[in-house]
Amino acid sequence: MGKDVQREILELERELLTLRAKNEVLLANTSALSQISNPTADPPATAQQTTSWTIPDDISSDLKKLFQTPLESKDYSTILNNLVVALGIDASALMPHAGPDKLSYDDYEVRVAREWELERKASSLGDLNILRVMAECIPGGSAASPLAGLQGMTESALSALWQTAIGRRLEEALRRPAEAGGRAGGDGPTSHNSKFAEVREAVYGKIEEYYGGLMERIGLPQTELMKAIEEEHCKGKDAEEAFTTSNYNIRTTAKEEWLNVTDPERRRRLSDGTRVIRGMEELKELETAIKAGLQEAELIALQLYTGKRER
């Protein structure tokens, strides 16, 4: 058999594998869209709790401590909070004693690693605005029922929608991090959201402004840090000026964000499982906060900056 023929056979095999992979993706997404358009259909089977991700050794040691520590122990909450900060996942996913099944430590670590993997991937997909990309492709609907355009569509119509619009747009969006060398997801267990790494062009003033210094532009600094942060968020000229965050596309104001962090009732109402706003007493007990010697004003400043609604 000639080399040219062998090369053609290899190319055909590659194309066949690619087509099979695309077909599997098409079937999976058609099934998912079918669940939206036909809500009475049986729900899909639960995804398997397997992962190829490995939790770093320093975090794994704390995870083992949590697994071995009784729920009623005074150390339990501290270890749990440290892991929530380190992995960036919900506390409920870290609680080994939750649920009817008694897990071995190995199974428990796999479950946590899988949740960490999914949270990291979901965060990276959020940076790529995947939900918005899909929303732009879904027809019709209304304010009362945004996905009404999908309801009642046949499986073939859903398949056509995926092939002609959604699939193409998703492929374009997902290709961006691959073309950029896979930089979108970060490189550590607590990868930064795009808001932390946003590149902006510097703006330069005149030479007179340079010699005038900061005091001429913004006045003397407030010596009380807590009061300074509150005044900036609640009494500044833009304190009640609504803005849309660049990372989560949420409408808010600086004053609202201050109240969300400092008002106990608001914290309780907004802590819905996906977003947990912790009180000062809890944050002061975190090992990382103790080691850094953080004061209350500094913890509030960190909450305001790292919250989901920060611009």
pLDDT digit string, tens, across residues 135-177: 888 888 888 888 888 887 888 888 888 888 888 888 888 887 6
pLDDT at 190 (0 to 100): 45
Percentage of the chain with pLDDT > 90? Answer: 9
Confidence band (pLDDT; 50, 70, 90) for 64? very high
pLDDT number for residue 48 = 53
Which segment of 1-5, 45-49, 68-72, 301-305 scores lowest on mean pLDDT?
Answer: 45-49
pTM passes above 0.85? no
Give yes or no for residue 50 having a pLDDT over 60: yes
- The confidence band for 237, taking pLDDT boundaries of 50, 70 and 90, is confident
Residue 114: pLDDT band with limits 50, 70, 90:
very high
From residue 244, alpha-carbon distances to 207, 248, 252 in Å are 34, 8, 7
Q: For the chain, what percent of residues have pLDDT higher than 70? A: 71
Structure tokens at 189: 């267990």
CA distance 42 to 264: 41
Q: What is the pLDDT of residue 234?
A: 92
Residues whose CB is less than 8 angstroms from the CB of residue 206 and which lie 6 or more positions away in sequence, other chains included: none
Quote the pLDDT of residue 129: 83
Give the separation between CA 223 and CA 219, rounded to whole angstroms: 12
- The DSSP string of 267-283 is HHHH--SSS----HHHH
pLDDT of residue 44: 47
pLDDT of 248 higher than 80 = no
Averaged pLDDT for residues 266-270: 84
Q: What is the mean pLDDT of residues 97-115?
A: 80
Residue 186 has pLDDT above 50, yes or no: no
**Where do the domains of the chain lie?**
221-306
* Cβ pair 66, 273 in contact under 8 A: no
- For 162, other C-beta atoms within 10 Å of its C-beta total 21
Question: What are the residues whose beta carbons fall under 8 Å from the beta carbon of 96, sequence distance 6 or more?
Answer: 66, 67, 103, 108
Provide the pLDDT for residue 194: 46
Model pLDDT, residue 191:
44
Q: Residue 113 — very low, low, confident or very high, per pLDDT cuts 50/70/90?
A: very high
Q: Which two tokens stand for residue 275?
A: 């977003």
Torsions phi, psi for 224 (to 5 deg): -95, 110
